Structure 1
């Protein structure tokens, strides 16, 4: 599988682990439409600032967001290329699934003669 060989197993695991959490997906969505600071994000969730920082760090390690300093704040933005990569991988898995379902149809459905 060329699609999967392009990345290490650990890199793929980090990517999908980061996307597995609802708070992290929400942070990712917010950083697509704006460039919030970590402090701004922390006010939007019922959790501590440190917990939000950890969520952002998981997203950053997975390459899904980048932080950049802006004065005393850290601004968060989505890395669109990495997000597209996640989509490509999911498309790859869907394509594999559809091929297998088509093969199953060939076996189970009677052929017209």
Structure 2
């Protein structure tokens, strides 16, 4: 998880991951989209490869990179522990639901009694 977190700290690497989200790209295609040098992009790709976020395949003379979002799952689960509602928030949500249900039932009962009064009048 630490390698993945370190790999996505850099904005260039995050941009590469976003680019690969749409499908495999060659190293040249990736490098062509950045103003940094090709060796710098190669280093970024190496970090992503070593963290398991991308896989590469040599096809002829070109190297193609593919996103593997699997390693992000563990990191996302860890982060979600800070963003999930606490036990109290779940209870408050349940209370709110119950209050709305009770109000709706009372409104429906009131409308039915109004209809009965009109029908008997």
The alignment's TM-score, normalised by the length of structure 1, stands at 0.70
Please say if 1:40 is aligned against 2:29.
yes
> Quick one: which of 92, 101, 108 aligns to 2:81?
92
> Quick one: which of 66, 69, 83 aligns to 1:77?
66
Distance 1:77 1:62 in 2: 13
Number of residue-to-residue matches in the alignment = 89
Question: 1:45 aligns to what SS in structure 2?
Answer: coil
Residues 94 and 40 of structure 1, relative CA distance in 2, 3 Å threshold: same
C-alpha contact (below 8 Å) 2:23/2:67 kept by paired residues: no
Q: CA deviation at 1:73?
A: 1.0
Distance 2:59 2:75 in 1: 28
Please say if 1:28 is aligned against 2:20.
no
Pick the structure with greater CA Rg: 2
Q: What is the aligned partner in structure 2 of residue 13 from structure 1?
A: 2
Instruction: Give the unaligned 5+ runs of structure 1.
Output: 1-11, 103-113
Output the aligned Cα RMSD.
Answer: 1.9
Question: 1:88 aligns to what SS in structure 2?
Answer: helix
Q: Which aligned runs of 4 or more in structure 1 are off by greater than 2 angstroms?
A: 83-86, 92-95, 98-102
